[in-house]
Amino acid sequence: MNNNIQTIRQNLNMSRRQLAELLGLTVQAIANYEYGTRNPKIKICYRLIDLAQRSGLDLKLEDIYMQDTA
């Protein structure tokens, strides 16, 4: 399953390191999410949503994961 973590991070104007620190993760975890080798657990998604909303972005759970258009 693909996700939009990189786009969200870029919209927050953050480096991987900054996002990792704010979410309590490693830089490698963020990289794995962005490369699609791993997907974040639901609690990480909700932390990201909270962070984005506090930064003024309207982000919902369905915005994190890309929709398949088959």
Say whether pTM exceeds 0.85: yes
Instruction: Find the helix packing angle between 16-23 and 42-54, rounded to 10°.
Output: 110
| The pLDDT of residue 2 | 81
pLDDT at 66: 72
Q: Strand, coil or helix: what is 27? A: helix
The domain locations on the chain are 5-63
What is residue 70's predicted lDDT score, i.e. its pLDDT?
Answer: 52
The Cβ-side half-sphere exposure at 50, using a 13 Å CA radius, reads 8
CATH superfamily of the domain spanning 5-63: lambda repressor-like DNA-binding domains (1.10.260.40)
Q: What confidence score (pLDDT) does residue 68 get?
A: 55
CA distance 14 to 4: 14
Task: Return per-residue pLDDT of the chain as tens, 70 residues.
Answer: 589 999 999 999 999 999 999 999 999 999 999 999 999 999 999 999 999 999 999 999 999 987 655 5
pLDDT computed for residue 38 by the predictor? 94
Backbone phi, then psi, for 26, in 5-degree steps? Answer: -95, 160
